[in-house]
Amino acid sequence: MTEEMVAQRVAEAIANTEVGCTVNAANERRPEVANVQQRCNYKVFMGCNPQSFSGTEVPVGLMRWVEKLESVFKISECTDNDRVKFASCTLSDGALTWWNSFAKSVGIDVAYNTPWKEFKKQMIDEYCPRNEIQRLETELWNLKLEGTDTTRYTNQFLELALMCPTMVTLEYKRIERYIWGLSEDIQGNVMSSN
């Protein structure tokens, strides 16, 4: 089962009960069940423990921040109108300075009403310069399995593929690229099992 399918089923289950997240004594996030359905508000959103972003952990940190926020948006059933407003509250340090400058230039109401997709693009433009993306593309292109740690290789491949989607847009290209980086003996086993 893919992460997307799991996230969808979790969101559906929560939608059938209540929309909140709490942290229990074991410090685990779990849905909070209540009798009354409520809309997402700031308290519910923050109760789902969204990740913060300071602007220094780019570009991988930016993508993880976006992924985590989008997961929290689904779980908390955050409306499109509140996404940028709530997301801006997770910014700190240089990213918060960037946000304050943006909000001041366009007005806070206009800034809060920026569509989430446009806001993500602005963040990517600001924090993922093209030369950094090119460096990651080169890293993906040259990625090879070192030793026998296939878990590390797989995780690194998936992270780079996420950051460089145009290099492995098609599923068969992603599979070919992954297999290409494996050692010859593992490549042979993979190819024969296919």
pLDDT value at 25 more than 50: no
Side chain identity at residue 19, one-letter code? V
In 77-170, which ranges are continuous DSSP H helix? 80-88, 93-106, 108-112, 116-127, 130-142, 150-163
* Beta-bridge mates of residue 29: 23
Of 26 and 89, more confident = 89
- The domain total for the chain is 2
Q: Which of 71, 93, 127 is the last residue of a domain?
A: 127
> pLDDT: is 163 or 118 the higher one?
118
Of 93, 127, 161, the domain-final residue: 127
CA–CA gap between residue 73 and residue 57 (Å, rounded):
22
> Is there a single domain that holds both residue 26 and residue 105?
yes
* Same-domain check for residues 186 and 123: no
Are 91 and 151 found together in one domain? no
pLDDT exceeds 80 at position 82: yes
Domain membership of residue 177 as a residue range:
130-193
Measured CA to CA, the distance from residue 43 to residue 38 in angstroms comes to: 12
Q: What are phi and psi of 56, to 5 degrees?
A: -95, -20
Tokens standing for residue 124 = 């990517």
> What percent of the chain shows pLDDT beyond 90?
30
My answer on whether 121 and 162 are in the same domain is no
Instruction: Tell me: do 31 and 82 sit in the same domain.
Output: yes
The last residue of a domain, from among 127, 157, 174 = 127
Single pTM value for the model:
0.60
- Report pLDDT for 8: 62
Helix (H) or strand (E) holding 186: helix 184-193
Shared domain check, 154 and 141: yes
Does 7 share its domain with 93? yes
Same domain, 99 and 162: no
DSSP helix/strand/coil, 79 = coil
Q: Residue 20's pLDDT is what?
A: 47
User: Please, what is the average pLDDT of the chain?
Assistant: 80
- The top-scoring range by mean pLDDT among 13-27, 40-54, 60-74, 88-102 is 88-102
User: Does 160 lie in the same domain as 123?
Assistant: no
Task: Specify whether 69 is located in the same domain as 154.
Answer: no
Residues 96 and 135 in one domain: no
Do 85 and 13 sit in the same domain of this protein?
Answer: yes
CB atoms within 10 A of CB 143: 17
Please tell me which of 12-16, 66-70, 130-134, 164-168 the model is most confident about, judged by mean pLDDT.
66-70
